[in-house]
Every structure is written in C-alpha cells, then in structure tokens.
Structure 1
Amino acid sequence: MLSATRQRATLRRSWTLLRALRHEQTTPEKFYRPLARDTASLLEALHRDLLGTSLRGRRVLDVGGGPGYFADAFAARGATYVPVEPDVGEMAAAGITVPGAVRGSGLDLPFRDDAFDLVYSSNVAEHVPDPWAMGDEMLRVTGPGGLCVLSYTVWLGPFGGHETGVWEHYVGGDFARDRYTARHGREPKNVFGRSLFAVSCADGLRWARSVAGAELVATFPRYHPSWAWWLVRVPLLREFGVSNLVVVLRKN
C-alpha cells in the first residue's frame, strides 16, 4: 500500500527540504517553492495509490494557501487549484496573485458540501484554536470518494515552536514566545496562544479514527524517509519523533 508515496519518501528528499527550511523567514521563495512542488508531488502520489488516478482534472482546495506559491505546482499537474486564506496580508505576500483565490476561514469554509475532489491543509492546524473543527469542515466540502489530507506540525517535535527555537517550546509556549520577544525586540510571527497552539499526534489520530462519514486510510510522518514511518505507531515516541503528521481520510 502507498507504493508511489513511499517511493518518493527518500532521505535525500528529507535533507533537501530541511536545508530549505532555513530560508523560511529571510527568503520565503527559497523555502515555499520547493515545498509547493513537494506538496503537489505528495498529493499526486497519494491520489494514485489510493484512488488510482492522477490529479489531472481534479478540483483541489488548499485550506490556508498563504501567499500562493502552490498554484503553479498544481497547475503543472493539470488540477484546478483553489486556495482559501483568512489573512489578506498572506494572500498579497510576494506580489503573487492566484486566480480564484478566496478569502475565508478554515473553520467556516465558504463552499457548498461535496464541492472538491481533494481537500488538503498543510501546516495550518497548529495555527487555529480548534483544528478538528477545521478538519470537519474540510471533510464537509470533500466529495464522496474523495481524499481529505490534513498535515500539521506536532508541538513536541523539534519544529513545534516554529521560529521561537528548537528547544524553548519544551520549557513552555509562553517561555518560548517571551524569550523570542526579548531577543528580537518584537513578537514572533507565530504567537503561542494566539496564532500557534500545542497540537499532538494523539489528538489528530483520535479525531481521524472517530470522525463520521470517512475512513482513515493512511497516517505517516510527512518529512521522514519511508523507513522511519513506523514512528507513528509508537505512542509518546511519535510526539517527539514525528515533526509533521499526515492524516489521510477517504470520504464515504
């Protein structure tokens, strides 16, 4: 199962994305463009593995599409791409304009039921106060037989604190936020308790296994090589070893 998805999950890919991460704050394009290509490739592989077809001709909703680096990557695969983003500043970042972009909240998506073939969210769940309500909304607008893919940063993983540091959030989110503010003279972009929340692997798996109207078909660490996917199966260890959890549901 997931042969195409596993085949692309190599150590070289993991290292390339990790190296690109250092540019997120200073040169966003160097981080987000490779991430966009990787995301489109991942979703294409999942679609082939689970549904037997490519993304060509599919309607794809990106919940929290941000500045729009992902549009070209999905267009290259023949998909109809629609991003929804609550922050108009993020939509205007880098001067990128995405035709059909929608301003709206992931907690109340402005679309009818069953509107898309594939709905996904990348690194957004940890930035909303009720990520599972967002997950329910994503499922609502996913069409029958379609995929809903939720990928998010795990709080106790090394990148849970985002730009506030790799160890500070282990002391506490408030500590990490305040230490960053003291060092830089300004608050971080991701403010704990306001735009950054502690989301665990256990929370996501619990929601995915109990949600009505869909079947949990895959879970794995997004950025790990496939030989490390077993980490998701080990309670507690997965909270520290899985930096980003992918949950894939197929709607009934």
Structure 2
Amino acid sequence: MLTVDFARLPVGPGHRVLDLGCGAGRHAFEVLRRGADVVAFDMDQGELDGVKSMFAAMEETGEAKGTGETVQGTALDMPFENDSFDRVIAAEVLEHIHEDTTAMQEILRVLKPGGLAAITVPAFLPERICWALSEDYHTAPGGHIRIYTLAELRAKLKATGFRVGPHHFAHGLHAPYWWIKCAVGVDNDSHPLVKAYHQLLVWDIMKGPKTTRVAEAVLNQVVGKSLVLYIRKPA
C-alpha cells in the first residue's frame, strides 16, 4: 500500500533515494523495483532486519532493479554526508517526532540541490476524529504527538528552506477503519466490525477493483487518511 505517488516523485536508475523511517519497507521496495538505489533508514533494527531480508529475496528473484541497503539511526542526526540523496521519502514520520523542525533540517541537509522529497503525515480531520474517539490512540509510547494542518506543514517546510509544491490526500478508505478501532479500542482487533473492515481493506489491496478505486478517489477529497506534500531543495 503506497502513500507516495511516484508520478509526482519520479525515481529510476541513477537516483539515490532515502526512505526515512522506512518501517516495514513498502516504499523502499517500490523504489528498488523502479531501478533506483535505496537506503532504508529507521530506528527499529527489527524492522530493518525484515527489510534487509526482503531486499535479498527481491535480488534473488530479479525483482530488484537497483541496490538496497539498511541503516539504523535517528532522523535528528542522520549519518549521511551533505547532499547525499536525489530523493527523500518521509512517510508518516514527522508526527512522531518532538523536534520535527530539526528532522526537516536534516532532510534538507542530506538532499542534493534540486532534489525532491515527499513528506506524508496524517491528515487533520481524520486524525482529529481519532484523537477525539480514543486517548490511547495518541498517548501510547511511540504514538502521534501532533496533528498537522496543511498550512502548518507548508509553513514549517518553507521556513526550513524548501520550495513547497503540490499536495494530495490518500487512503480515504482507511479513515473509517481507524475510527472503528478507536471507538471499540485500538488494540481490540478481534471485534467483529474491525475484522470485517480489515478484510475489506485486504481484499481491496489485493484485487484493486474499479468500484473501490473510484470510491477512494472520492473519499480522499474529504477524509483522506494521509496528507502527501512534495517539496524541492532549491538549486
């Protein structure tokens, strides 16, 4: 399930890409399929071990068209030289970081002049509803510590030194799923409504039928779960 639109963030052979806060590696794997070289970067070594294993499997099957490596560290002090990457992806990362402007400065530092980045965060309205429905949703260790408005995110990125480009919303079908989880208990995965909606999402991801694609395109404009913003480091 990709949040970033790679038509807006083109990657390919010759590009070096940083997937900051890569998690399980969903964007890093897509970058690798497109022929770019990717560094999957995260604090969680357990996640990185899984990503590294998938990199090896993709190389073995010929699915990897570029090279992939994993690096552990923090977004506040990344172990990379200035101007190291042609592209940076930071998907659902900044809402976890107290010093978010420091992380933005680090992204600017490691990105090459003229390079592009995609920043994704939970969109304001769906996230605000989750916070209202469940305190556990946003107070658990490692959880979300802020809710961004589009204006705030744009302003912080501009103040950092980025040129801010277009934006869109994604995963409109996923917002109701999280509202249900927040209403019945974020850890209550056995609840019938949670299980039923999860099955719907898995079916949609696997099959991608036209009906749900159209429905999500409409829902994205109203309750898209993620805000995606594309930015550039000035040349």
Alignment TM-score > 0.5, same fold: yes
Per the TM alignment, residue 129 of structure 1 is displaced from its structure 2 partner at its CA by 1.6
Query: Partner residue of 1:81?
Result: 38
Query: Partner residue of 1:145?
Result: 114
Query: Partner residue of 2:203?
Result: none
Identity of matched residues, %: 25
Figure out how many residues of one structure are paired with residues of the other and give that number.
178
Superimposed CA distance per residue, residues 186-210 of structure 1 (whole angstroms, 9 cap, x where no aligned partner): xx7x744743212212321221232
Query: Partner residue of 2:233?
Result: 251
User: Which structure 2 residues correspond to residues 40-119 of structure 1 after superposition, within 5 A?
Assistant: 42-43=5-6, 45-48=7-10, 54-93=11-50, 96-98=53-55, 99-119=68-88
Per the TM alignment, residue 116 of structure 1 is displaced from its structure 2 partner at its CA by 0.3
C-alpha distance in structure 1 between counterparts of 2:27 and 2:231, whole Å? 22
Query: Partner residue of 1:198?
Result: 146
C-alpha distance in structure 2 between counterparts of 1:130 and 1:153, whole Å? 17
Are positions 1:207 and 2:156 aligned together?
Answer: yes
The AA in structure 1 aligned to 2:49 is: A
The AA in structure 2 aligned to 1:115 is: S
C-alpha distance in structure 2 between counterparts of 1:107 and 1:243, whole Å? 25
Contact preservation (8 Å) 1:127, 1:195? yes
C-alpha distance in structure 1 between counterparts of 2:29 and 2:38, whole Å? 9
C-alpha distance in structure 2 between counterparts of 1:92 and 1:191, whole Å? 27
Contact preservation (8 Å) 1:82, 1:101? yes
Per the TM alignment, residue 69 of structure 1 is displaced from its structure 2 partner at its CA by 3.7
Q: Does the C-alpha gap of structure 1 residues 110 and 128 become closer, same or farther in structure 2, counting only changes over 3 Å?
A: same
The AA in structure 2 aligned to 1:176 is: E
C-alpha distance in structure 2 between counterparts of 1:194 and 1:95, whole Å? 23
Superimposed CA distance per residue, residues 68-95 of structure 1 (whole angstroms, 9 cap, x where no aligned partner): 3444322211110111101112223488
C-alpha distance in structure 2 between counterparts of 1:95 and 1:102, whole Å? 10
Contact preservation (8 Å) 1:208, 1:247? no
User: Which structure 2 residues correspond to residues 23-38 of structure 1 after superposition, within 5 A?
Assistant: 35-36=1-2
Superimposed CA distance per residue, residues 24-54 of structure 1 (whole angstroms, 9 cap, x where no aligned partner): xxxxxxxxxxx14x64xx13x1145xxxxx5
Per the TM alignment, residue 137 of structure 1 is displaced from its structure 2 partner at its CA by 0.9
Contact preservation (8 Å) 1:67, 1:96? no
C-alpha distance in structure 2 between counterparts of 1:94 and 1:65, whole Å? 9
Unaligned stretches of 5+ in structure 2?
A: 56-67, 173-215
C-alpha distance in structure 2 between counterparts of 1:222 and 1:73, whole Å? 17
Which residue among 120, 135, 148 is the counterpart of 1:176? Answer: 135
C-alpha distance in structure 2 between counterparts of 1:46 and 1:207, whole Å? 21
When normalised by structure 1's length, the TM-score is 0.60
